[in-house]
Structure 1
Amino acid sequence: MSIIRKLASQTAVYGLSSIFGRFLNYLLVPLYTYYFTAAEYGVVSEFYAYAGFFSVLLLFGFETGYFRFRDKERTGPDVAYSTALIFVVLVNLGFFTLILLINTQLSAALNYANHPEYVLCFSLILILDAIAAIPFAQLRAENRAFRFAGIKIFEIGVTVLLSLFFIIYCPKLYAANPESWIAPIYNPAIGIGYIFIANLLASGFKFLLLAPQLAGLAWGFDRALFGRMVRYSLPMVVIGFAGIINEMLDRVLLKYLLPYDALTNMKMLGIYSACYKLSILMSLFIQAFRYAAEPFFFAYAGKSDARQVYAVVLKFFVIFCVFIFLLVTLFIDFFKYFVGDEFRAGLEVVPILLLANLCLGIYINLSIWYKLTDRTLMGASVSLAGAALTIALNIWWIPLFGYVGSAWATLACYGSMAILSYLLGRKYYPVNYDVKRVLGYIGLGIGLYFAHEQLLMIIVWQPWLLASALMLIYVLITLLCEGRQQRRLG
């Protein structure tokens, strides 16, 4: 339990910073959904979907490769770091050169011929973020969680402030006095483009704060180590790319597969993307856990009780994720106000997407089998299977069920990946997970959710009171079950 508490404390540092930072960022969702139409927000969602794919390609899996080799080379972790950083910088410089050459044609192909600045802005954001990922990995590996968290919060804070400046303050000042000092820096025609500009400026400030870590470019490039890192990391690109397909492809396909006109399709895309944001609490916890758990799993792998610890980690992870699932779904009447009224038509997808994210978190826990045994190619096959399922189900279900079909496809994908990873893990890196208890907690959460839906129709309690009572039931049952197990074991 002391090891679990240590992991929990690291997760808390990353988590509190992520929750605070993402909460600031989350405040942008009502800003965007109250100030822009669903169709306009759909444009932003589409670009972020594309960005997800390129963020994997531009990092080339070297973040995880750095974790794998930093403590294994006689040359020391500094050379492993500089080798990864130099390679990522060169890849991104090549990418930027390519974008400069084809920007006009690419913008036209995406139906944004009148806004080539969208593509250029987003390319620069991607480049800065990809290069920054390696310094951030070094901070995580060295347990410098507070510096990591501080820079992340600063970046998000700048994004929020600049968004408020460009979207609220500038239009009001421009409308009142178009000849004022605001005229040279604000153009109403840019519109949603200011979302991209705010993100780009924030990424630039983050890059400057990471300057001490960027000094590692001078520590040398080890060709032999680079070869080993490529062989290990290349399958991680496949895994990451497949993961982005699972996470983002629905946002791309909705634009083309929904059976409406182009404007309505973009509106539906905006509604779905905004409601996807309501699963933010689950995503926050999973991200915070991933930041803390990835270096922890590698560092603890040599301990005699490692597999036992991994099993306990998964159980408590699921307990907390189910708590988040209930918090959002039972109090959805509160969370719905974080998106504009036009976007609330899609609230039915929120429980489905929360369960999908829970399955993704379970998969992240289970994926240690291929990372610790260097079977990354086999791990890639799991992700590719999930990606194939995502593509097939979206193509099948979007024309039939709209964006609800995309939500169910996401759940089916992540659920299947978790099951497949568990079965392969039993063969290549057996861990005695408490499957019955894990499934029991998930079933309890789903049962309480459906009970809430039924009880709302037959009792006269206030919705928040009923939701609180059901949350309390979950907490008490969890404490009772875990208390009994602790007494039995100790």
Structure 2
Amino acid sequence: MLRKLLSHAAIYGLSAQVPRLAGVLTLPIITRYLTAADYGVAGVVMAYIAAATVLHSLGLSVVLMNSFVQHPKRFKWVWRQLHGFMVVWSVVYAGLLSVILYFGIPDETGANKWIIMLLHGITALVFMNTDLVGNLFYQMSQRPLPAALRNFAIGVIVVVLNVYTIAYLKLGYMGWFYANFVGSAAGFLVYAYTLYGKEKLWPILNFKWHRIRRSFKISLPVIPDQFSYFLLETSDRLVMDVLRVPLPRIGFYNIASNFGSYFWAATMGVVQAATPFYMQLHTKSDRKAAALEARNLTFGLQALFLLVTFLICLWMKEIFLLLIANAELQGAYPLGIIILMGFSFRPMHVAATSLLVHKEKTRALWKVSFIAGLANVLLNLVFVPVYGVEAAAVTTFASLMYMGYSGFFMKEYRQFAIVSYYPLLWLAATVATLAVVYTLADVNLMVKVTITAVVLVALLATLLKYKSALTQHVKV
């Protein structure tokens, strides 16, 4: 199972991260033509878009996944019904997004405000539903290659256009928005051919309202959980905008936060690959064996995440000096370390929430993720005015730790849990790892090389250990 999961994760991850890596490698080119204010504008605009995106699917992706597993012979009929509703809802959503952007886009953008609103309005109205359904179809079918090739091609297009619009045309922050729009349009065309031409997953606009209302009982409680990802990953920039933090300081924080976002996006490949495995394990009749298998899978992934984030953070200073051709922005690397280490929580969070989703206890998810996100916002409102943008990195880390480990203490989870995941030990290990790597950030290169060699050996040992452990249990 681990071999299959890792192969799927590699396909998802590499397809998304090779273009993203290329984008990172272009930073020395484009950062010469960007200012902290450019990063500030982009960060604020994307924060408002991320906030609105939570309402796009109304949590119906959970219903789509469950119907695929529970009704493999007739899931397409369910999907077409839900897809039809989402098409109608997208009209309302696009209008709502335009209103949010009208009031949220900084005044410094001038006439560009209307162009940004138009680009994202079209994306919401035309492209987003097809993208959502297409990704879920290939994910749940455990056919990662078609989606991976599509995402890889889009990533390459966006990277090339970023360089062209920013370094050649010198459009500043607008280069990002133009490139992303073209990439979204290209992705829509690919999935439209596959979904509507080959798979016949046309949306049914004359959908049954009773099915939609029944789906909402499962999907709507998921919205606070999905909104939490915005509150944790992106809301910092929005709070800073509300607090009237100068755009250059927001940009300073944004460049550090971007490295956390890069890792967040990279882990999506693992999450996409792991989710179908967890869902299948939860349906097995031998619950004890399945629970042990799921725990072994989680422990292996969590150890892997900690070692990888440690290694990246150890070299964060050198990464900033190499990639960021802007002396002011290079100083943001300590914030990058704190934020990046926070995102190592994902495997433990997926293990807890996947069980709740399978048992359709979605009403409980807000107790984990939404509270974590809300705490992040409130802590930022209190501490950012006093300690500056540095406080936002610390509050993000603390909130992510709550999100990653609190689910194991909920009564809704304990009702179905069979084995212990030792969440407090993993939490302590994560905090200790941050303390160690933050202390080592400025040591000399030879020390870092030695530490890197030791970590790589530990990484290999972790993979070998958990591969062996997983093969002792029932295969998927």
2:3 partner letter: R
Task: State the Cα deviation string for residues 24-69 of structure 1 (Å, max 9, x = none).
Answer: 3434544443311001111111111112112221121122220012
- Which residue number in structure 1 is paired with residue 437 of structure 2? 449
- Which residue number in structure 2 is paired with residue 49 of structure 1? 47
Give the alignment partner of residue 323 of structure 2, picking from 338, 347, 366.
Answer: 338
1:255 aligns with 2:241: yes
Following superposition of structure 1 onto structure 2, how do residues 193-342 of structure 1 map, counting pairs within 5 Å? Answer: 193-211=174-192, 212-214=194-196, 215-217=200-202, 221-257=207-243, 265-280=246-261, 282-303=263-284, 304=286, 305-336=289-320, 337-340=322-325, 341-342=327-328
- Which residue number in structure 2 is paired with residue 175 of structure 1? none
Q: 1:282 Cα shift?
A: 3.2
Assess if the C-alpha contact under 8 Å between 2:58 and 2:223 holds in 1. Answer: yes
Q: 1:113 Cα shift?
A: 4.9
Aligned in 2, Cα 1:348/1:481: closer, same or farther, shift over 3 Å? Answer: same
Following superposition of structure 1 onto structure 2, how do residues 391-430 of structure 1 map, counting pairs within 5 Å? Answer: 391-424=377-410, 426-430=413-417
**SS state of the match for residue 220, structure 2?**
helix
1:378 partner letter: A
Aligned residues: 459
**Residues of 2 paired with 1:196 and 1:488: CA distance?**
49
Length-normalised TM-score, structure 1? 0.84
Give the number of the structure whose alpha-carbon radius of gyration is greater: 1
Assess if the C-alpha contact under 8 Å between 1:239 and 1:379 holds in 2. Answer: yes
Aligned in 2, Cα 1:461/1:81: closer, same or farther, shift over 3 Å? Answer: closer
Aligned in 2, Cα 1:320/1:24: closer, same or farther, shift over 3 Å? Answer: same
Task: State the Cα deviation string for residues 152-177 of structure 1 (Å, max 9, x = none).
Answer: 11111111122222223335xxxxxx
**Residues of 1 paired with 2:218 and 2:101: CA distance?**
36
**Residues of 2 paired with 1:223 and 1:75: CA distance?**
22
Aligned in 2, Cα 1:483/1:246: closer, same or farther, shift over 3 Å? Answer: closer
Task: State the Cα deviation string for residues 267-304 of structure 1 (Å, max 9, x = none).
Answer: 11111111122235632442111111222222221112
**Residues of 2 paired with 1:156 and 1:71: CA distance?**
30
Aligned in 2, Cα 1:146/1:363: closer, same or farther, shift over 3 Å? Answer: same
Assess if the C-alpha contact under 8 Å between 1:104 and 1:113 holds in 2. Answer: no
- Which residue number in structure 2 is paired with residue 185 of structure 1? none
**SS state of the match for residue 216, structure 1?**
coil
Task: State the Cα deviation string for residues 61-118 of structure 1 (Å, max 9, x = none).
Answer: 1222200122434870111221222122211123335567x59954778664532212
**SS state of the match for residue 421, structure 1?**
helix
Aligned in 2, Cα 1:461/1:93: closer, same or farther, shift over 3 Å? Answer: closer
**SS state of the match for residue 59, structure 1?**
coil
Task: State the Cα deviation string for residues 356-378 of structure 1 (Å, max 9, x = none).
Answer: 11124432332123212111111
Aligned in 2, Cα 1:81/1:361: closer, same or farther, shift over 3 Å? Answer: same
**Residues of 2 paired with 1:445 and 1:109: CA distance?**
38
Aligned in 2, Cα 1:397/1:169: closer, same or farther, shift over 3 Å? Answer: same
Aligned in 2, Cα 1:390/1:103: closer, same or farther, shift over 3 Å? Answer: closer
Give the alignment partner of residue 468 of structure 1, picking from 437, 452, 455.
Answer: 452
Aligned in 2, Cα 1:269/1:453: closer, same or farther, shift over 3 Å? Answer: closer
**SS state of the match for residue 202, structure 2?**
helix
Task: State the Cα deviation string for residues 380-438 of structure 1 (Å, max 9, x = none).
Answer: 23222112211211011111221211111111111122332011165222142442774
Assess if the C-alpha contact under 8 Å between 1:38 and 1:268 holds in 2. Answer: yes
**SS state of the match for residue 142, structure 2?**
coil
Assess if the C-alpha contact under 8 Å between 1:107 and 1:113 holds in 2. Answer: no
Q: 1:250 Cα shift?
A: 0.5
Aligned in 2, Cα 1:416/1:470: closer, same or farther, shift over 3 Å? Answer: same
Gaps of 5+ in 1: 172-189
Assess if the C-alpha contact under 8 Å between 2:297 and 2:470 holds in 1. Answer: no
**Residues of 2 paired with 1:451 and 1:99: CA distance?**
43
Assess if the C-alpha contact under 8 Å between 1:40 and 1:270 holds in 2. Answer: yes
**SS state of the match for residue 39, structure 1?**
helix
- Which residue number in structure 2 is paired with residue 144 of structure 1? 143
Assess if the C-alpha contact under 8 Å between 1:363 and 1:414 holds in 2. Answer: no
**Residues of 2 paired with 1:464 and 1:80: CA distance?**
54
Length-normalised TM-score, structure 2? 0.86
Following superposition of structure 1 onto structure 2, how do residues 120-139 of structure 1 map, counting pairs within 5 Å? Answer: 120-127=118-125, 128-139=127-138
- Which residue number in structure 2 is paired with residue 4 of structure 1? 2
2:307 partner letter: F
Give the alignment partner of residue 18 of structure 2, picking from 10, 17, 20.
Answer: 20
Following superposition of structure 1 onto structure 2, how do residues 180-199 of structure 1 map, counting pairs within 5 Å? Answer: 191-199=172-180
- Which residue number in structure 1 is paired with residue 111 of structure 2? 114
